[in-house]
């Protein structure tokens, strides 16, 4: 039987997700004694059932330029740890105040706010411990440059900058400039660096790296817009009604600013452009191509 594209993608995502899960399990086993509670709190969010999109992109990017998955696994896992810390801190009452994450109680609802803050801090810190530890076949120069790219993308002029702007945008009318600033920093920066870090680790040349960075920026932005569309469409479905343009218009999203149909059009265009950015690659970039299409088409 010839597998269709959807089956191929699902198989790929599942295989890489398991790979990342196993590696994270190895880096963060359960612990006894004084560190048992913080360790349990870190593991709770780390294994809460994320799709592992960022680490999968990191591995797929390395493979696209001929790299091996085991060499980039620590990098892929470190990025997932940084993503996970940002979710724990985002969910706190003093930020977005979300009681649930992926259908399970948020970290602070289970472990308390103090431990949740510290578990986030710890995941961020341990990400750099992992990135600077024994890596397989990556030169110290490259490791340093990967650490520099990741910390910059996650820092106050990257992911954290986007989060601050998002925090300040809450309940206010915001324009396109601000929405773009939030998306570019809060979401796109870490997705782009996932792809760049995988490629750098795998020894990508300058032109390949530039092409992959462009692909990363476009899929990163498409991912965020698609997420906001899904958010509205799924709540409409669940609530059986339009969630109301009043509320929507105060959200820092594309759908709130330009409507759902136009947002869908933009997402499709971004994905098309991302695909032509990586035209230069052979069939080893098939997973990257499938993931880009999946981002525009996914229903959950």
Residues interacting with a copy of itself, by CB under 8 A?
34-35, 37-39, 42, 85, 89, 92, 94-95, 112-115, 117-118, 120-122, 124-126, 128-129, 131-133, 139-141, 143-145, 147-148, 151-152, 154-157, 160-161, 163-165, 167-168, 178, 181
CB of 118 vs a copy of itself, minimal distance in Å: 5
Pick the closer one to a copy of itself by CB: 8 or 164.
164
User: Buried (b) or exposed (e) across 111-147, using 16+ Cβ within 10 A?
Assistant: beeebbbbbbebbbebbbebbeeebeebeeebbeebb
CB of 139 vs a copy of itself, minimal distance in Å: 8
Instruction: Output the six-digit token pair for 54.
Output: 């960022």
Pick the closer one to a copy of itself by CB: 72 or 154.
154
CB of 173 vs a copy of itself, minimal distance in Å: 17
CB of 268 vs a copy of itself, minimal distance in Å: 28
Closest CA to 247 of 258, 237, 257, 256: 256
Chain centre distance of CA 260:
22
Pick the closer one to a copy of itself by CB: 183 or 293.
183
Pick the closer one to a copy of itself by CB: 8 or 118.
118
CB of 195 vs a copy of itself, minimal distance in Å: 19
Pick the closer one to a copy of itself by CB: 17 or 109.
109
CB of 162 vs a copy of itself, minimal distance in Å: 9
How large is the greatest C-alpha to C-alpha distance in the chain, in angstroms?
55
Cβ(45)–Cβ(87) below 8 Å:
yes
Closest CA to 221 of 181, 166, 169: 181
Pick the closer one to a copy of itself by CB: 158 or 287.
158
């Amino acid at each position: 039987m010839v597998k269709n594209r959807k089956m191929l993608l699902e198989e790929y995502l599942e295989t890489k997700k398991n790979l990342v899960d196993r590696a994270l399990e190895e880096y963060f086993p359960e612990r006894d004694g004084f560190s048992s509670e913080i360790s349990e709190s870190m593991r709770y969010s780390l294994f809460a059932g994320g799709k592992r999109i960022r680490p999968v992109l990191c591995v797929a990017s390395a493979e696209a330029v001929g790299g091996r998955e085991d060499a980039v696994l620590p990098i892929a896992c470190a990025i997932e740890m940084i993503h996970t810390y940002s979710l724990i801190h985002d969910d706190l009452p003093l930020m977005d105040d979300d009681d649930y994450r992926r259908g399970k109680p948020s970290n602070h609802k289970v472990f308390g706010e103090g431990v949740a803050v510290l578990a986030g801090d710890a995941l961020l810190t341990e990400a750099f411990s992992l990135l600077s530890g024994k890596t397989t076949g990556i030169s110290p120069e490259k490791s340093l440059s990967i650490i520099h790219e990741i910390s910059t993308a996650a820092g106050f002029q990257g992911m954290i900058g986007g989060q601050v702007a998002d925090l300040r945008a809450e309940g206010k009318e915001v324009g396109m400039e601000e929405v773009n600033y939030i998306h570019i920093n809060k979401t796109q920066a870490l997705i782009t660096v996932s792809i760049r870090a995988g490629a750098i680790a795998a020894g990508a040349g300058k032109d390949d790296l530039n092409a992959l960075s462009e692909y990363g920026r476009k899929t990163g932005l498409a991912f965020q817009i698609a997420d906001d569309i899904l958010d509205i469409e799924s709540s409409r479905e669940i609530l059986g009604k339009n969630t109301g343009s009043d509320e929507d218009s105060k959200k820092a999203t594309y759908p709130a600013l330009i409507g759902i149909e136009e947002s869908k059009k933009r997402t499709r265009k971004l994905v098309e452009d991302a695909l032509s950015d990586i035209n230069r690659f052979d069939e080893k970039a098939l997973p990257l191509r499938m993931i880009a299409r999946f981002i525009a088409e996914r229903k959950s």
